[in-house]
Structure 1
Amino acid sequence: MAAVGTLNDEALKRKERLKALREKRNVQNDNTDQDEPGNSTTEKERLPRPTFRSYKPEHDSLKEQAKPAAQASDITMSIKDQLDAGKTDHVVSEVDLDKLAPRKPDWDLKRDVSKKLEKLERRTQRAIAELIRERLKASQEDLASMVSVGAEQNRMEAGDED
């Protein structure tokens, strides 16, 4: 409950400070008006004056502040100049067919995957070489006999396919 009392006290202090600031500002405004005797501005002159662009006021005193209607400019000459500039006298004689031909829909995928495929190709070649070495060690035979066995198998497979 003590908090409510302190809040009320704070609010009263704030009100007093604001009141003092207002009085100080009013005193300063009065001093500036008295210091400048040539400045006899009234409240009407301080307010901004409206300018009427698309509205035509009915009251006589406001008609002075209305702006005249804008006149449309003639654009036919500028359009003719633009049309003349757009006409070309030269005709393209050579057309690069590579630029006109549409690309395959998967060209970007092939481009992005090509680096990865190169790595995989190298790894595949290494793995094949290792397998051949392991087979040679396992059979303890020379390379010529293994090649001849592989060639015979290829011939048999080719004969089965025919």
Structure 2
Amino acid sequence: MAEEGIGQLEADALKRKERLLALKRKREETSGGEEKSADGIKQEEEKILPKPKFRSYKPQDDELQENVLPEATPGDVEMEVKEQLESAKNRGIIEELDLTTLAPRKPDWDLKRDVAQKLAKLERRTQRAIAELIRDRLREGQSDLAEAVAMARPSQQDED
């Protein structure tokens, strides 16, 4: 029994090897049909590797000298500053600007924006409550209607 199991394992191993060889052949056919030796594979790997770029390092090896980048030269700052100063002298652009758009916003502008709808609701409720209080006073007193209205008007005029 043990020999049958070992024989089966060997047969499975041979089948796997054959499948791997078939896959390798198929891959070589799609890549160009050339069979590559071990040296050919090493050369291909060397081609894939990126070449180093030396910005500040000066290599001593002659083969690496070709990868040295030229020294960076700073730009002409004086010319740029002169151009900016000349453009600042142009008054037309400054006169066109609206200072209200450039002014910084108050620190709580977003809070006021978010609360505006809630404040509108509260204002309506406040007006209703004031009207209810006036009605209650009128019901209690049942006195002079003109006097009650006169009392309510000065408070409304102060709010405006």
TM-score by length of 2: 0.52
2:46 partner SS: coil
1:67-111 per-residue CA deviation (whole Å, 9 max, x = no partner) reads: 7233405645xx238944872323444364434544332222222
Query: Residues 25-79 of structure 1, C-alpha deviation per residue, up to 9 Å, x if partnerless?
Result: 337768999xxxx956432223335369457779xxxx6xx67233405645xx2
Aligned partners of 2:11 and 2:132: how far apart in 1? 94
The correspondence of residues 97-112 of structure 1 with structure 2, limited to 5 A, is: 97-99=99-101, 101-112=103-114
Whole-angstrom CA distance in 2 between matches of 1:31 and 1:129 = 92
Which of the two has higher C-alpha Rg? 1
Q: In structure 2, how many angstroms separate the alpha carbons of the residues matched to 1:31 and 1:102?
A: 69
1:26 corresponds, among 18, 21, 27, to 21
SS state at 1:103 partner: coil
Deviation track 1:113-138 (CA, whole Å, cap 9, x = no partner) reads 12211111111011110111122122
Tell me the amino acid that sits aligned with residue 21 of structure 2.
Answer: N
Q: Relative to 1, partners in 2 of residues 1:25 and 1:106: Cα closer, same or farther, differing over 3 Å?
A: closer
Q: Flag structure 2 segments of 5+ consecutive residues without an equivalent.
A: 53-58, 156-160
Other-structure match for 1:160: none
Q: Distance in 2 between matches of 1:31 and 1:74?
A: 49
- Alignment RMSD, CA only? 4.7
Partner of 1:146, secondary structure, is helix
* Higher helix fraction (1 or 2): 2
Structure 1 counterpart of 2:76: 80
Structure 1 partner of 2:128: 126
Q: Determine whether 1:115 maps to 2:117.
A: yes
Residue 46 (1) aligns with residue 41 (2): yes
- Structure 1 CA distance for aligned equivalents of residues 111 and 11 of structure 2: 75
TM-score (norm 1): 0.51
Given that 2:51 and 2:67 are in contact with CA atoms closer than 8 Å, whether structure 1 keeps it comes out as: yes
Paired residue type of 1:26: L
Number of aligned residue pairs: give it: 129
Question: Percent of pairs identical after alignment?
Answer: 34
Which residue identity does 1:70 align to in structure 2?
V
